A and B are shown apart, each in its own frame.
Chain A
């Protein structure tokens, strides 16, 4: 039952050219006054002050526009972003509003103009924030030390893979322990980073109850096991209740256990990685902890580990002097070295610290509760829409903060695919949904996630739009298949995306591939 009045929407269509295709020869944004003769006499020809080797022989090929034209161009581009400020239930990404106050803080000169090579004595405030946030995450995870170098979740998973290598090497077991076990539902960054670090990957399949069996794990654990890398819950929202036993099985065999805690939102303050027995975990500050994501800002994968693994951490780490001041300590002899330059994306650590402090423990607990409640509210309404089914429908019990659904029945009835519905939803001014990570073991998947941000009106409106589109699929399937119609661009021929001869991500490549001179 559609609850809201579906609003009219139409995005501006500018068919905006590339900036390189705009302007006229000689047009300028601002023109500097001519050098006064007295200055010229005193200084001489300014060009002569440049070393000969630095002088261009050809003029630089830049667009030539007035300041106003540049402003107008970027206004148009901002109107063509296809979302991020609409209702965005983009699952597995925990879309959150990034409070402006935090943005204001990180734009202040004491953050924005800090130089990473400054003497640590002159960046005590920043180091204190890093140190305090490290301690906050220790409380939330039960682990013993966090670092923020990794530039995203996959980078943190790679940190784990490198730590696994260093740990077993220090014990003389690296050659023997060359297998990392993961599951079919773990985020693909886990097997990918483990493979990049040189490990063999063993992937456990899901069983009928929504997670791999203990028997399957036992069948592959051995003295070759280096580590286990898993998510829990995964994006079908099912929590593996045997996880403590899993960790014990792997530990008993001498392996390490890493918790990919990207899906932390639904279990914040309820589950601590260390209490389950994990040696390390990862949180995404640009998702769960209120930092901007998706091009909105740089990401951070916060990586935490227990005492056993601290000697292998990437340096430099922030440490406390006896007088309470802070210093940077390079990694020791067993350290994996640097994962990334300097301390990581400090502005996002500051945003996350600010967000977490303003939420408080009670706030985090409320947020976790609300995100699970919102997901279950969504489930009830979504399953009332004909053609939508739940991933692994036979698994009893409530799902956590997200659920993977299938439009397979709608597609079978109408020929309208999950991509068509995704395109058409954007015609109503809501953001496109996330489909699902590979592998797609259910047909036509989509994975919405409400988190704690979105109001019940927003969630209802999003569902109303989806239901409207599902109705259209039955009454006018061509309308949905040929969408979007109200967006900044209309349906694209996606085969161009897989044809290297046609795509171009730079102006130079565009000119080369399309035979444009100059």
Chain B
């Protein structure tokens, strides 16, 4: 990346990435893409990629873009009047992981300085399987799960990292890179609590802008959290609709209520009413329906975990808890719980909220309390997508 003034960016969109989120599919691999479309999912990755590209527009003359054709990059760049070289022709409208890999090969052949992609863990894996550590990878978060350590917190921050890199080159400074983990569920099984390590990729050193890799859950072994969930289980009231977000922490409460792991969905959103599990692995519309059909009783309540090591409350692996869902429930009816060790590893302590819609109205107050034990909370500053840049800077 030593050419002064010019950065060669390989840019790629996985157009099906993220589609599974709101419809509760926990991912959008090739086989799940059709199902996601049937369920009415919309392409989110193009929209999120455009947020990043727009933030790059002021420095466009310093960047050369290389992109695959059509929905994998070229269409978007064209619509934004961004000049680019098409380096790979996609065959059909239905793109696959083979297209991602072929595009990555073409990036390599063209000697790009970095690969900027919009997708999730699957997309990161495909690119990594071709380029390894030879080219830095930077992800615009647009998948369902983003456990790997290559994703910016928000689309706009991916652009900021690139703008910082351009400034470094212009000032004759070295750009700092780090090795980070590429993580995903394995293809064969869906053990949601564990991630498989696919290897070590190269990305930018930008700890405040790039989300750390997910840390495996230690909720089950945290005795303080166990005591908290036991207490919460006794506080569940009658005639109220309760939701339980993805992940182990929230599901420990269901365990305490006698709902075994076989009966709820660890990876999904479940609903409980008067002691009975009335919804399992719900998608956005099912959640909204349940809220409507229970409008006569006390307002809905939700237990939410935090993604370990990443600090995300919403927008990673739980896109079915959309802005609409959370505004119907209300931030005051969200009870956030997490293992203390998850929350205290970094300064400053942030909780990220990343709804798909950049302009979504702010739902949470600036500070919320994360419960880490019975009668013990850690105060966290909430950083919301779209408002992210100003919020982070203001601190």
Contacts and interface: CB of A to CB of B under 8 A. Distances in A.
Contacts of B369: 202, 220
Given A184-B378, A208-B395, A439-B345, 5 more contacts: A199-B375, A202-B369, A207-B381, A208-B348, A442-B347
B376 A216 contact: no
A205 B376 contact: no
Interface of A: 184, 191, 195, 199-208, 212-213, 215-216, 219-220, 392, 438-442
B365 A184 contact: no
Contact of B347 (A201, A202, A213, A441): A441
A205 B349 contact: yes
A201 B377 contact: yes
**B347, B348, B365, B381 — most chain A CB neighbours (10 Å):** B347
B348 A203 contact: no
Contact of A200 (B366, B375, B380): B375
B379 A220 contact: yes
Interface of B: 340-341, 344-349, 365-367, 369, 375-381, 395
A204 B376 CA distance: 11
A212 B347 CA distance: 10
Contacts of A213: 395
B352 to A, nearest CB: 14
Contacts of B348: 205-208
B344 A184 contact: yes
B395 A207 contact: yes
A207 B391 CA distance: 13
A199 B373 CA distance: 13
Given A219-B365, A220-B369, A205 B375 contact: no
9 contacts: A200-B376, A202-B377, A207-B381, A207-B395, A212-B379, A438-B344, A439-B344, A440-B345, A441-B346
A510 B377 CA distance: 40
The 7 A-B residue pairs with the shortest CB-CB distance in the complex, in nearest-first order: A439-B344, A205-B349, A219-B367, A200-B375, A441-B347, A201-B376, A206-B347
B381 A216 contact: yes
Contacts of B379: 202-205, 212, 216, 219-220
B378 A203 contact: yes
Nearest to A199: B375
A191 B376 contact: yes
Nearest to A203: B378
Contacts of B377: 200-203
Nearest to A178: B375
A220 B380 CA distance: 11
B336 to A, nearest CB: 14
A203 B365 CA distance: 17
**B340, B348, B377 — most chain A CB neighbours (10 Å):** B348
Nearest to B349: A205
B366 A219 contact: yes
Contacts of B376: 191, 195, 200-201, 203
B347 A205 contact: yes
A392 B346 CA distance: 11
A403 B375 CA distance: 31
B202 to A, nearest CB: 15
Contact of B349 (A184, A191, A202, A440): A184
A203 B376 CA distance: 8
Contacts, number: 65
Contacts of A439: 340-341, 344-345
Contacts of A207: 347-348, 381, 395
B382 to A, nearest CB: 10
A215 B367 CA distance: 8
A195 B377 CA distance: 12
A195 B348 CA distance: 25
A338 to B, nearest CB: 26
Contacts of A205: 347-349, 378-381
A184 B395 CA distance: 17
Contact of B367 (A199, A200, A216, A442): A216
A308 B379 CA distance: 30
**A200, A203, A220, A441 — most chain B CB neighbours (10 Å):** A203
A254 B59 CA distance: 54
B33 to A, nearest CB: 40
Nearest to A184: B344
Contacts of B381: 205, 207, 216
Nearest to A442: B347
Nearest to B178: A412
A444 to B, nearest CB: 13
Contacts of A208: 347-348, 395
A206 B349 CA distance: 7
Contacts of B347: 184, 205-208, 392, 441-442
A439 B344 CA distance: 6
Contacts of A199: 375
B341 to A, nearest CB: 8
A201 B344 CA distance: 15
Contacts of A191: 376
B334 to A, nearest CB: 16
A274 B152 CA distance: 47
A266 B349 CA distance: 28
B150 to A, nearest CB: 19
A195 B395 contact: no
Nearest to B365: A219
A201 B349 CA distance: 17
A202 B341 CA distance: 16
A294 B341 CA distance: 28
A433 B13 CA distance: 51
Contacts of A195: 375-376
A215 B375 contact: no
A201 B371 CA distance: 10
Contacts of B345: 439-441
A215 B381 CA distance: 10
Contacts of B349: 184, 205-206
A177 B95 CA distance: 60
A220 B347 CA distance: 19
A442 B344 CA distance: 10
A206 B345 CA distance: 11
**B340, B345, B377, B379 — most chain A CB neighbours (10 Å):** B379
Nearest to B372: A203
A201 B380 contact: no
A195 to B, nearest CB: 7
A216 to B, nearest CB: 5
A183 to B, nearest CB: 9
A184 B340 CA distance: 11
Nearest to A206: B347
Contacts of B378: 184, 203, 205
Contacts of A184: 344, 347, 349, 378
Nearest to A218: B367
A215 B366 contact: yes
A438 B341 CA distance: 10
Contacts of B340: 439
Contacts of A201: 375-377
A204 B344 CA distance: 11
Contacts of B395: 207-208, 213
A137 B345 CA distance: 38
A200 B371 CA distance: 11
A93 B365 CA distance: 39
Contacts of B346: 441
A85 B340 CA distance: 37
A201 B224 CA distance: 13
